[in-house]
Amino acid sequence: MAKVYQSLNGRKIEKLIAVNEGVQAELTARAFEIAVRAEEILVQHRADGHAEIDIEAGDNNRYVILSDDRGQKAALSIEYGRQESIVVRENKHGGKYLDVIPEMDGLYILATASHLPKKRKGKVKLD
């Protein structure tokens, strides 16, 4: 009968596996593959936007990120879509007007690139 150890040399087995050089290399390779697919999907939809695909490295993880920090900060709306909303804006003369932001279907760039199911994450509102 095999014995399963919870830790080895004071380190949890999960952590020991996670920091393994081969595991880290595979995480990097998989994140790169997903990022390349995501960039291909994003380019098909980009007209003049500023959104981009980034890869971030955590302690033991890799993250593929849809970033729109340079643009309208709309990464969540790009991924999941948005409902129509009405925003009160101010013009250069101090007057106010209503601006209708139309509904938009999500592109599910990260979900598609990662081969994950496309699920809308609740109602997305703009402030």
Residue 71 lies in domain:
8-75+107-113
Q: Is residue 47 part of a domain?
A: yes
Average pLDDT, the chain: 88
Looking at residue 1, its pLDDT comes to: 81
Domain count, the chain: 1
Strand partners, 100: 86
- Quick: pLDDT tens for 105-117: 999 999 999 999 8
pLDDT surpasses 50 at 127: no
Closest to 38 measured CA to CA, from 63, 56, 61, 64: 64
Task: Examine residue 124 and state whether it is found in any structural domain, yes or no.
Answer: no
Residue 81 included in any domain: no
Match 């109602």 to its residue by tokens: 123
Q: What is the pLDDT of residue 66?
A: 96
Q: How confident is the model at residue 121 (pLDDT cuts 50, 70, 90)?
A: low
pLDDT band at 123 (very low <50, low <70, confident <90, very high): low
Residue 93 in domain: no
Examine residue 63 and state whether it is found in any structural domain, yes or no.
Answer: yes
For 28-61, the pLDDT digits (tens) are 999 999 999 999 999 998 766 789 999 999 989 9
In a domain, 12, yes or no: yes
The verdict on residue 30 lying in a domain is yes
